[in-house]
Each structure stands twice: as structure tokens, then as C-alpha cells.
Structure 1
Amino acid sequence: MWLSPGCSKSKDRWTVDDLGGTLRRARQAAGLSLAGMAKRTGFSRSYLGNAETGERAVTPALIRAYQKVVGDDLNRRELLIGAVSTLVAGGVPDEASDIAASVRAERYHVLASAQTSHAVDKTIAALVARDTPSLAALTKWAQKGKPVLRVNASGILAKIGSPVLDGQVARQLVADVEVRELYLTAVVSRVLGLPWEDAGHLVRSGSPLAEQRQLDALTAEVTNATDAGARWCSIVLLARTRPEASAVVDHALAGALKTETSSEHLRAIGYTLAGLDPTAV
């Protein structure tokens, strides 16, 4: 059980306001000063001090940096795992923590059992982002095994925040039709707020988006910095709608060109702007 820093045991939950104190306690438990933590993480001493006192927002990158420094001590790492979970998903998702542990142990069975959610994938990605063996295992699973394992592994890799992995996920979505359909369905369901079956029907139909609110949601998703898979899927869905709404789609994709760092995504955008099928990249 992870106890809420500064809260009663009955709550058993962190709030975002507690994250700075959690970082401080983990640092102190590791026997490090602010200066020592700054030297090891690459962040300035003043930045860390402000984050620990709540004067500056705590980010997943900062929590991952603390995780790397505190090492394998279970108690200190549990503090930070809970902090990542709170920041990303608004609580402490035991499912994500358990799956992250199985990934680090290179056990794939949990990921092969059911498709994970966007929030769970984000939390797992934050927990394994700096663990090279975990990333290697996810890369292997994204290419072999049951479709649900492949899409789950791809979904986690898509949220690591690496241009190289972003491109790898895009290539997987182009080549793997089963994973593409599952990922597209998940994006449509989450972004457009559709039930899973309705989302799957829209994906399989190949139809353009029918409502302005749907178009607005996907033009925003095409620059989602936290999910490379969702960005690629949004490009595909916008490509379907471009014949009916070329001005809106072209404006959104032109904006995405300014921020996109993955060459595979840039190629998909180029294909779409040229009136070609981005899944044929």
C-alpha cells in the first residue's frame, strides 16, 4: 500500500500537490542533498528545490530522473512509482504498476490478455522509459505474438517520447493491419467519445468523419505530443475526411509539420497533403 504523503491513512491516495514532497522524501531517503541530486539528474538545484516545494510543476521527466538516481531500493522506488501514477492518471493505478513490473521482468502474458487503456499505457511508459531491456522486450512483442500483445506493446512504445520509437510504431501501424485496426479503434473511442463497437465500425467502414466536433477533436489530436500512435492514427482518419474538408485538414496538418519529430509521421502527412493514402507509406 502506498500511503498519501501528508494525508491520513484512510485516503490511501496522492494528490498532485503532494508530488514535490514525495520527490523530497525519496531524495532524502537516498541520502542525497539537493546539490547532489542536481548533479546526478542534470536539473539545476533551484529547479529541483522549486519542484520539491511546489513552486514549480512536477513533470514525468523529472520523476523519471529521480527514479534513475534512487536506484533499486524498493521503498524509495515505490514512492516515485506512486508519484508517476498520480501525475499521469490522477491516482495510483495498480494495474499499470503491475504491468510495468511484468515488462521489466520480460513477462508478456498480462499484456497479451486484454487491450490496455490510454491512461494505463502512459503510466507504464513513464515507469519503463529509461529501462533499456524493457524497451527491447516491448519492441519484440510489438512485432510478434497475439494482436492484443502487439497493440499493447506498440501503445506503450508510442508514449515513451522518442522520435526513433515513434517512427518504429508508425511503421508497425502501416505494416500490421490487425494492430492498425485495434489502435485506430482505441483512438476513435477515446478522442471521439464513442462506444468501442461504434468506434470499430467507423474504423472498418473507411468512412469520413460525419460531424464537425469529430473533425475538431482529431485536428487537435494530430499534435498530441504524448502518443505517437494517436498522432499517426489521426493523420489516417483526417486523410479519409480530406475530400470533404480539405481546408480544415490541410491547415491542421500544416501545423503538425512544425512540431512533428518523427520522419514516418512527416511522410504520412506529406502523403495525405498530396492526396495519397498514408497507410501506403
Structure 2
Amino acid sequence: MDPHQLRTFVTVVRLGSFSEAARELGYTQSAVSQQIAALESDVGASLLTRRPVGPTEAGARLLEHAGPLLLRLDAARADVARLVGAPSARLVLGTTPLAVGAALGSALAEVRRAHPRVDLTVRVVARDAPPTLVATGEVDLALVDGLAAPSDPLPLPDVGPLSTVAVDERPLAVALPAGHPLAGHRGVALADLSAARWLDAPDIAPTAARLRAATAVDGFRPAARYLGSDVRGLLTLVAAGHGLAVLPAAALDRAPGVAAAPVREPRLVHRTELVHGSLPEGPAALLVRLLGG
């Protein structure tokens, strides 16, 4: 199966148009049609309806395979490039919003002292993005965070030959409005709060699905959504009574109008890991050693 044809097929489905796919990919519309026809001949099935443009049943099934296949091809290309590439003075670090900590600042300062000409970029990304960005070479390495049992690794997707390094583990707490009946409690069981109003903030806090999986209890229905990466914005909604959220306890220190109830059950921590591929000696490799030490 030709990966160029497969990528063209995915683009046509995503845009719902042969002409728009041709414009994005830099092909003529005729070339796009020829690639789709060749792919359909290869798999022996019609993959797209034409009016309107959309996947057939066979096309929808192929689409399920296409994303992971193309991702692994991009990851393989990036992995080989890292292996044979010359040491780079560039350092692009991806990080989820809550993974940035004091240790990162001092580690980056040490990298700058060792490599004074380093071209440093820190890129804040969505919580589920780091493994893919590292695998495809869009960032050199990334910090990712999430819920885990103490000393357990984070559950990350298999997108290539990546390594992880534990960086930090911190206690969790439920963010509550200051006047909430549980404000000031020494510890709460998340299962007891399953019927409460919750905030869905997928880039900062655990989703309802993650909380249900962690507690084996149904519930945790979101009362509102917060689609942002600013913790202060989320805590403003908590303080106003729009819902609860689970966050690292340190993130709740001195937050106006917000109280913290430590999570007692289940035994979970806020874990931060560094994700990286093969790295030649240079700024990125030094950062891995500093944060993983």
C-alpha cells in the first residue's frame, strides 16, 4: 500500500473534497483522483462516495488503520533522522500545562550554561499530544503529566520507540469552593463525590472517564466544560460553584475562593514524566539527564 496514496485518501476524507485536498497537498485535482483510484484498485474496494465526498464502509475501515500507519511511518523517519543526525544546538521542549515545575527552570538554566548558544523553545501542548509530537520529531522531548498509582508509569500510547523518565510525583486534591461542606477535611474518597457537579477541563484535570476508571464508580458527570490551559481560569469557575476538579495539591495554594480536600482514596498521585526518543549528545540529552537524575 503506497503511503502517499494513503495520505491523500486521509486528506480527502478530512476535508470532504478532492479539490480542497489537492490544494492542501500541492497536487492537481486530477492527480488526487488518480491516487484514490490507484488505492481503490490496490485494496480491491471502493473507498469514497463522490457526491457528497465521504468514506464508504470499506473506506471507514481503512481510515481506522490509516492514522496509526502514517504516524508510525512519520515516527520511523524521525527516529532514523535523530540517530544519524549531527548534534543540534536546537532544543524544542513540549510540555503539558501542569508539567512545568521549578525543577524545569533550574535544569534549563544548566543547559544554557553548558550550551550558551542553544536555540530554546518551550511549547505548551494538549495533554494527549506529547508522545506523538516526540515520535514525529516536532519536539525533541516532552513533559507529560497525569494520574497514576504511586511509582506507576503513566499510560501512554504506543506511537514509536520512545523512552520515559520519571520526573516528579505530587499529592492530589479536589478543588472545592471555599464554602463547600468538605472544605477543610483532611482527606476525601473520590467515589463519595461521584454525584457532585464536576468541571470537564481535559487539558488540565482528569476527565470524567479517567475518574470513573480510577474509582470503578459511575458518575462524575461534567456540569460545564473549560477548554483552556490556564489553571487560574479553571479555579475561578470552581470558586464560583460551577463544579469540582482534581488537581495537584500545590496548584491550589492560596487560590482565591478555593479550598483543597486531599485525595485519600484511591491512592493516586499527580505524576510527571519526560518522554524522548533516541538523542545524540547535546542540549536535549543533557536535559534528560538533569530531569531524570
TM-score (ref. length: structure 1): 0.30
Larger relative strand fraction: 2
TM-score (ref. length: structure 2): 0.29
Larger relative helix fraction: 1
